[in-house]
C-alpha cells in the first residue's frame, strides 16, 4: 500500500475528518438490520479518539438524489455509534453550513460528531469544488475509511483531498487493499476464482481480468446459461444474454489458451416458473426442459466444485450460485459457502449478495476476509484503480 495511513500522521488536538461508509440496511420500522459497516470503522474512530483528536464523521446513506429525505437520515447511525463506542456521538443536522462550522469550532479533543447524509446535497455526487472546499474547511487531517464508496468520484472522497494537508487511508481501507493484494498480486497458488450472479455482461470485466491471474475459474449462477448456450446446449427459459454469446465463446477460448481450468455446472435445479412454490427437479445441464428455467446449481456440480477447491490455496468469490433469495434455489450457494468456509485456503469474499449468503449460512467467521465493498470490490477485480484510493496522499509525499 503506497498511501499514507491514519497511524502515520499526527492526530493529537487535530480536527480529524473521517469519511466512512455507513450505508447500512434499514428495515421498514427504521431499525438497522446489519451494522457491520459501522463496526468496521470503529478501529479508525477509536484510534483517532485515543490519540486525542476531535473527530468529525461523514457518510452517505442510500440514494436521496440531492434532496433531504428523512428516511435516509444518519441520525440512527449516530445512536448506534454512541452505543458501540460507549460515548455520545453528537448528530449534526447538515454536513455543511454555519451550524456545522460552529459545532466543529466548539469541538474539544476526544469529542466526536456525525454529520448528516452527504448526498442530501447534489454537489456531493457532482464532486463540486465549492462543496469539497467547505467539507475540507472542517479538517486538519482527512481520513478515508469508506472502501465501499472508493469507486465513486465524489466531493467527500475525491474533491476534498485537494484542499486538505493530508488525505490518509483508515484501517478498514488498508485492510481491504492488503487482503486484495495478497490474493491477486502475489497469491499462494492454486488461485481459484468463483464467479456467480446474474449476468455475464455485469461481470465480463472481472472475468477477463481474472483470466490473466487465476489458475481455475468456477462459474455458477445465471451467467452459466449464456456459456452453456454458447456451447450449443438447450437452456430452456433460463437467463441468457444472446448478445453475449460470442463473448462467452471468446472467454472460454482465452481460458483454454492460457491454460486456466474453466468449470461450468454439470447439473442444475430447474423450475417451471420463477416462484418459491414452483415445481422443481434436478437435471443434467444437457436436459433442461424447454419451458423451464434453471435457478440453481445441482448436487453433482457441488461435488465437482468441491473437488476443484480441494487443493486451492487462495479462493476469491463473487456472486451467488443461484437465486439464493428463495429457499428452493439456495442450496447451491449455501453448499458453496460451506466448501469455501471449510477449505484450507486464504478465502476472500466480496460483492453484496455473496456476503449476505455467507452471513445467512452462519459461516462468516470461517472466511479469511469478507469485503465491505460491492461495486468497489468488483472494480478491483476488474483490475481498475479506485478514484477514492488514488486521491490519497502517497507515502513520502
Which lies closer to ligand AMP via its Cβ, residue 199 or residue 366?
199
Output the CA torsion 68→62→90→156 (10° steps).
-90
132 or 226, CB closer to ligand AMP? 226
Cβ-based neighbours of 78, under 8 Å, separated by 6 or more: 89, 90, 91, 114
212 given a catalytic annotation: no
Minimum CB distance to ligand AMP smaller for 113 or for 315? 315
- Residue of 52, 62, 202, 205 interacting with ligand AMP (CB under 6 A): 202
Piece in contact with ligand AMP (CB under 6 A), picked from 32-40, 59-67, 129-137, 322-330: 322-330
Q: Establish whether 352 is a catalytic residue.
A: yes
Indicate the Cα dihedral angle 8, 13, 16, 22, nearest 10°: 110
Q: Does residue 382 interact with ligand AMP by CB under 6 A?
A: no
Residue 323 binds ligand AMP (CB under 6 A):
yes
Q: What number of CA atoms fall less than 13 Å from residue 309's CA on the CB side?
A: 26
Burial of 249 (0-12, 13-18, 19+ CB in 10 A): middle
Determine the Cα–Cα distance for residues 301 and 266; give it in Å rounded to an integer. 5
Given candidates 322, 350, 373, 388, which one binds ligand AMP under the rule CB under 6 A?
322
Note whether 298 binds ligand AMP by CB under 6 A: no
Q: In the complex with ligand AMP, which residue's Cβ is closer, 40 or 296?
A: 296
Candidate residues 228, 239, 270, 304; the one interacting with ligand AMP per rule CB under 6 A:
239
Task: For 147-298, list the strands marked E by DSSP.
Answer: 166-169, 191-195, 216-219, 261-263, 267-271, 280-284, 293-297
> Which residues, in sequence order, are CB contacts of 303 under 8 Å at separation 6+?
none
97 is catalytic: no
Stretch that binds ligand AMP, among 96-104, 143-151, 196-204, 301-309 (CB under 6 A): 196-204
The minimum distance between CB 199 and ligand AMP, in angstroms, equals 6
| Cα–Cα distance measured from residue 207 to residue 223, given in angstroms and rounded to the nearest whole number | 11
- Site membership for ligand AMP, residue 271 (CB under 6 A): no
List the one residue from 294, 334, 339, 345 that touches ligand AMP (CB under 6 A): 294
Q: Which of 293, 190, 281 is nearest to 238 (CA)?
A: 293
* DSSP assigned state of 189: S
Nearest approach, Cβ of residue 322 and ligand AMP (Å): 5
Minimum distance from CB of 205 to ligand AMP (Å)? Answer: 12
Active-site residue identified among 14, 19, 37, 54: 37
Residues 6+ apart with CB under 8 A from 374: 148, 350, 351, 352
Q: CB 203 → ligand AMP: shortest distance, Å? A: 6
Residue 37 bears catalytic tag: yes
For residue 156, give the nearest of 126, 132, 121 by alpha carbon: 132
Q: Which residues of 62-89 are buried (b: 16+ CB within 10 A; e: fewer)?
A: eebeeeeeeebbbebbbebbbebbeeeb
Task: Determine if 353 is a binding residue for ligand AMP (CB under 6 A).
Answer: yes
* From 170, 187, 190, 221, residue interacting with ligand AMP (rule: CB under 6 A): 221
Which residues contact ligand AMP by CB under 6 A? 197-199, 202, 221-222, 239, 294-295, 319-320, 322-323, 325, 351, 353
Which residues belong to the active site? 37, 199, 352, 375
Amino acid at each position: 500500500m503506497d498511501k499514507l495511513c491514519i497511524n502515520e500522521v499526527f492526530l493529537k488536538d487535530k480536527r480529524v475528518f473521517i469519511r466512512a461508509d455507513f450505508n447500512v440496511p434499514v428495515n421498514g420500522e427504521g431499525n438497522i438490520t446489519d451494522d457491520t459497516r459501522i463496526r468496521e470503522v470503529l478501529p479508525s474512530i477509536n484510534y483517532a479518539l485515543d490519540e486525542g483528536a476531535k473527530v468529525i464523521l461523514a457518510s452517505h446513506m442510500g440514494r436521496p438524489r440531492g434532496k433531504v429525505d428523512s428516511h435516509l437520515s444518519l441520525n440512527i447511525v449516530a445512536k448506534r455509534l454512541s452505543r458501540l463506542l460507549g460515548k455520545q456521538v453528537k448528530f449534526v443536522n447538515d454536513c455543511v453550513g454555519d451550524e456545522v462550522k460552529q459545532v466543529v469550532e466548539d469541538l474539544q479533543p476526544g469529542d466526536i460528531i456525525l454529520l448528516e447524509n452527504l448526498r442530501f446535497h447534489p454537489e456531493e455526487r457532482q464532486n463540486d469544488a465549492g462543496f469539497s472546499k467547505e467539507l475540507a474547511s472542517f479538517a486538519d487531517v482527512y481520513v478515508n475509511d469508506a472502501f465501499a464508496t472508493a469507486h465513486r468520484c465524489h466531493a467527500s472522497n475525491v474533491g476534498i483531498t485537494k484542499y486538505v494537508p493530508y488525505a490518509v487511508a483508515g484501517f478498514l481501507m488498508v485492510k481491504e487493499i492488503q487482503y486484495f493484494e495478497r490474493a491477486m498480486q502475489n497469491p499462494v497458488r492454486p488461485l481459484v476464482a468463483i464467479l456467480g450472479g446474474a449476468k455475464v455482461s455485469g461481470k465480463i470485466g472481472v472475468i477477463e481480468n481474472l483470466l490473466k491471474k487465476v489458475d481455475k475459474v468456477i462459474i455458477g449462477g445465471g451467467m452459466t446459461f449464456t456459456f452453456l448456450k454458447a456451447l450449443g446446449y438447450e437452456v430452456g427459459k433460463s437467463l441468457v444474454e444472446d448478445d453475449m454469446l460470442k463473448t462467452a465463446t471468446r472467454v472460454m477460448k482465452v481460458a483454454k489458451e492460457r491454460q486456466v481450468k474453466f468449470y461450468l455446472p454439470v447439473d442444475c435445479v430447474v423450475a417451471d416458473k420463477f416462484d418459491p412454490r414452483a415445481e422443481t427437479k434436478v437435471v443434467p445441464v444437457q436436459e433442461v426442459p424447454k419451458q423451464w428455467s434453471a435457478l440453481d446449481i445441482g448436487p453433482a456440480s457441488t461435488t465437482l466444485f468441491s473437488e476443484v477447491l480441494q487443493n486451492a490455496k487462495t479462493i476469491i468469490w463473487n456472486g451467488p450460485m443461484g437465486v439464493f433469495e428463495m429457499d428452493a434455489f439456495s442450496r447451491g450457494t449455501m453448499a458453496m459457502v460451506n466448501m469455501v468456509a471449510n477449505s484450507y485456503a486464504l478465502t476472500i469474499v466480496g460483492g453484496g449478495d455473496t456476503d449476505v449468503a455467507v452471513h445467512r449460512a452462519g459461516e462468516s467467521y470461517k472466511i479469511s476476509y469478507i469485503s465491505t465493498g460491492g461495486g468497489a470490490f468488483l472494480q478491483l477485480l476488474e483490475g481498475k484503480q479506485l478514484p477514492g484510493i488514488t486521491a490519497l496522499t502517497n507515502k513520502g509525499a
